[in-house]
């Protein structure tokens, strides 16, 4: 009896120990998120304190690397740059991506379907520096020849970002379309609707939440993309609104990667504040996705 | 009739959209390989060392750095992500804690990689005093890729049929033994595919690495605390600095080589997944 009891005790103790290990490793993600937010916030405090919200949200940008407190550090130029580039990325990318998803799900013959599916996966895996280098050596010179500008700017960044968010939006939209009950499509076709009527009036409306989530994730990809954008956006310190397509400008990410290496003091802290703004963008997008998917459950 | 015509037009439009998407991919890979493969296959380029402002430099230290960082990062990611995935898929009940863990994993996955770079620089490079080093870079990309590996491992575990677990438990195996001997082996192909895809992503990562691991390195890193320069970051650095007279050829060659490595790994990932899947299916039939 005693021996059996001890065996059971050992057994339970082992299971409890395992559970503790598992919970600990799952908690590491919580720790990571909080550490990242805490450190980025802590490092941006000096900028928030000395430059102030008014100074940070202005167009004045005159960093003084030698004497940081003497400079002015407005972040509006890169914030607007990020918004402009993302706007065009989604305007170019989303229709193409959703169209490709519909094509894969509905129209493509079996053989082509798997080729395109595989191709989209490969496109997702191409490193961003390579797409940036392609943009710098092919796209920017092409834009330079067509327009009378130097080719850098929102247009180049928008196209590069469209290419990079295409696979994200496509694959999640395909998943959304696949998740629809087959009866929906069958019923529509059986009623005599054409393929296009079925897609536009039955399938896409039914999958709209999934497609919306796909687009939001695409926006996230575009906002956070760094290297490729830095290579084609021009890195100039002038504001470019979405309609100023060929004006070299900066984005938050391009600013960060260009300045982080050689900034000190308040200047360095401003770079972290730019990172903080990116984090806030990311959090807003996550909350938007939560809202969209919660609505679906109801 | 009008509906039919609209349908025909839509069909043509969707065909064009599909072909445009695939030609974007073919065009980019084609241009990169066409411009760079000639340079990329020269032994003096692959196995040479960078020569700063002189022409004819190679990229061997960067190639090795890339693989060191990938290996070290996986060494950190694998145990944590598999254990977390086991917790989420096998043990966790749908409660407040589980939902919070999932929210944090989602948040971590949605943060831009440059933010991880900033974090790694603050904590690993400066606070811990490691400087630009292999270990600082590896830990940074490990954090960056943790959520994706965790999610794919969780999905692989969930796709193992419940009957497997029931059979094992009914034979008297403990919960942990069931997971270790039955569930994990069945989920291995999925986990392996997810891991290979992560290898491809780490090899291509640059934003999180240039200011944690290092920008350029003259020699192969010889310790964890030695500065390293992964190939993707080096491509960015060389085209920014444009120091060497043949910098264009160096970038072209490096880009082509990196692309080939990533493509091989991504194709390999699918192959492994398919191979194992076929094998386990065949095994099931035998039983």
Within-domain flag for B42: yes
Indicate the SS3 state at residue A234. Answer: strand
Contact between B12 and B21 under an 8 Å Cβ cutoff? The reply is no
- The mean pLDDT of chain A is 88
Between the alpha carbon of residue A6 and those of residues A1, A9, A11, A17, A59, the distances in Å are 9, 5, 8, 16, 73
Within-domain flag for B212: yes
pLDDT tens across A59-100, in order? 888 888 778 787 788 889 999 999 999 999 999 999 999 999
Within-domain flag for B13: no
pLDDT tens across A237-277, in order? 888 888 888 989 999 999 999 888 888 888 889 999 999 99
Q: Which residues of A touch B197 (CB under 8 A)?
A: 125
Picking from B3, B20, B146, the nearest residue to A29 by CB comes out as B146
Fold entry, domain A72-297: MetI-like fold (1.10.3720)
Q: Which residues of A touch B236 (CB under 8 A)?
A: 129, 132, 227, 230-231
Q: pLDDT at residue A166 above 90?
A: yes
CB contact under 8 A, A129 and B203: no
Picking from A129, A138, A170, the nearest residue to B235 by CB comes out as A129
Q: Please give the model's pTM, rounded to 2 decimal places.
A: 0.90
pLDDT tens across B66-98, in order? 999 999 999 999 999 999 999 988 888 888 888
Indicate the SS3 state at residue A90. Answer: helix
Picking from A26, A35, A224, the nearest residue to B114 by CB comes out as A224
A vs B: CB pairs below 8 A: 240
CB contact under 8 A, B25 and A119: yes
Euclidean distance between CA atoms A54 and A46, whole angstroms: 14
More confident residue, A148 or B109: B109
Between the alpha carbon of residue A250 and those of residues A8, A137, A237, B93, the distances in Å are 65, 19, 6, 46
In chain B, how many domains are there?
Answer: 1
Host domain of residue B148: 36-286
CB contact under 8 A, B266 and A125: yes
Q: What angle do CA A93, B236, B214 make, to 5 degrees?
A: 130
Contact between B208 and B117 under an 8 Å Cβ cutoff? The reply is yes
What are the structure tokens assigned to B60, written together?
A: 């061997």
Between the alpha carbon of residue B237 and those of residues A36, B137, B244, the distances in Å are 26, 16, 12
Q: Is the dihedral angle over the CA atoms A17, A19, A20, A25 positive or is it negative?
A: positive
pLDDT tens across B7-20, in order? 889 889 999 998 99
Within-domain flag for B67: yes
Euclidean distance between CA atoms A8 and A14, whole angstroms: 10
Euclidean distance between CA atoms A287 and A294, whole angstroms: 10
We report the CATH number of the domain holding residue B265 as: 1.10.3720.10
What are the structure tokens assigned to A251, written together?
A: 């984005």
Within-domain flag for B148: yes
> What residue spans define the domains of chain A?
2-50, 72-297
Within-domain flag for B14: no
């Amino acid at each position: 009896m005693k021996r059996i009891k001890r065996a059971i005790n050992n057994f339970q103790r082992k299971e409890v120990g395992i559970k503790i290990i598992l919970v600990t490793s799952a908690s590491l993600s919580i720790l990571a998120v909080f550490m990242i937010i805490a450190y980025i916030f802590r490092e941006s405090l000096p900028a928030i304190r000395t430059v102030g919200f008014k100074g940070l949200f202005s167009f004045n940008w005159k960093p003084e690397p030698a004497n940081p407190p003497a400079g002015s550090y407005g972040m509006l130029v890169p914030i607007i740059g990020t918004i402009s580039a993302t706007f065009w990325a989604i305007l170019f990318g989303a229709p193409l991506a959703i169209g490709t998803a519909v094509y894969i799900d509905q129209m493509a013959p079996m053989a082509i379907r798997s080729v395109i599916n595989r191709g989209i996966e490969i496109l997702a895996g191409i490193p961003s520096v390579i797409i940036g280098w392609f943009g710098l050596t092919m796209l920017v010179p092409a834009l330079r020849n067509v327009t009378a500008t130097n080719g850098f700017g929102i247009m180049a960044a928008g196209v590069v970002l469209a290419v990079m968010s295409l696979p994200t939006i496509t694959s999640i939209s395909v998943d959304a379309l696949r998740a629809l009950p087959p009866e929906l499509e069958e019923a529509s076709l059986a009623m005599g609707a054409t393929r296009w009527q079925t897609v536009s009036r039955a399938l896409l409306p039914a999958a709209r939440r999934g497609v919306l989530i796909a687009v939001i994730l695409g926006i996230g990809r575009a906002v956070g993309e760094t290297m490729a954008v830095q290579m084609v956006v021009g890195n100039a310190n002038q504001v470019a609104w979405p309609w100023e397509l060929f004006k070299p400008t900066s984005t938050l990410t391009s600013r960060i990667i260009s300045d982080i290496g050689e900034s000190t003091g308040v200047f360095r802290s401003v770079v972290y504040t730019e990172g903080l703004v990116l984090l806030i963008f990311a959090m807003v997008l996550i909350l938007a996705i939560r809202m969209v998917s919660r609505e679906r459950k109801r | 009739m009008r509906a039919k015509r609209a349908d025909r037009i839509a069909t043509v439009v969707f065909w064009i959209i599909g072909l445009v998407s695939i030609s974007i991919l073919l065009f980019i890979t084609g241009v990169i390989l066409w411009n760079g493969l000639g340079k990329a296959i020269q032994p003096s380029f692959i196995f040479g060392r960078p020569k700063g402002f002189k022409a004819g430099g190679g990229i061997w230290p960067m190639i090795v750095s890339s693989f060191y960082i990938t290996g070290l990062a996986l060494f950190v990611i694998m145990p944590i992500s598999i254990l977390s995935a086991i917790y989420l898929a096998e043990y966790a009940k749908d409660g407040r804690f589980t939902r919070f863990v999932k929210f944090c994993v989602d948040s971590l996955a949605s943060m831009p990689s440059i933010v991880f770079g900033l974090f790694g620089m603050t904590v690993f490079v400066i606070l811990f005093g490691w400087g630009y080093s292999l270990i600082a870079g590896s830990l940074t990309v490990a954090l960056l890729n943790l959520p994706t590996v965790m999610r794919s491992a969780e999905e692989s575990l969930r796709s193992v049929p419940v009957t497997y677990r029931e059979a094992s438990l009914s034979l008297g195996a403990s919960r942990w033994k069931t997971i270790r001997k039955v569930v994990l082996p069945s989920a291995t192909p999925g986990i392996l595919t997810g891991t290979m895809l992560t290898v491809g992503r780490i090899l291509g990562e640059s934003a999180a690495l240039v200011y944690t691991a290092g920008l350029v390195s003259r020699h192969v890193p010889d310790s964890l605390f030695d500065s390293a320069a992964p190939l993707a970051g080096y491509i960015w650095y060389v085209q920014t600095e444009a120091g060497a007279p043949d910098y264009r050829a160096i970038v072209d060659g490096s880009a082509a080589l990196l692309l080939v490595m990533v493509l091989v790994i991504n194709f390999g990932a699918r192959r492994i997944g398919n191979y194992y899947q076929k094998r386990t299916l065949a095994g099931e039939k035998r039983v």
